[in-house]
Amino acid sequence: MQGERHVRLFKNGRNQALRIPREFELPGNEAILRKEGDRLIVEPMRKNSLLAVLAEWEPLQGELPEIKDFPPEPVDL
């Protein structure tokens, strides 16, 4: 953890906001905010690429059933 720093809250329109000091900057321009008790937790948005999702999957166990590959049926136009 990079420590802590005193920050000031301010109003931005009807929202309360705070400036995030440079040493706490998050990547990107979106984040997830959640509340746990009296704490606010800000986390960077994770990029959910297909490769990242596939990397998290466990390998399939066992054999896959054989699939018969029938030719397509003719269609009258």
Q: What is the tens place of the pLDDT at every residue in 6-63?
A: 999 999 999 999 999 999 999 888 899 999 999 999 999 877 788 888 888 998 888 8
Amino acid, single-letter form, for residue 37: G
Provide the pLDDT confidence category of residue 2 given band limits of 50, 70 and 90. Answer: low
pLDDT of residue 1: 52
* pLDDT band, residue 4 (cuts 50/70/90): confident
d(CA 44, CA 33): 9
Q: 7: Cβ–Cβ under 8 A, 6 or more apart, which residues?
A: 18, 19, 20, 21
Helix (H, G, I), strand (E, B) or coil at 62: coil
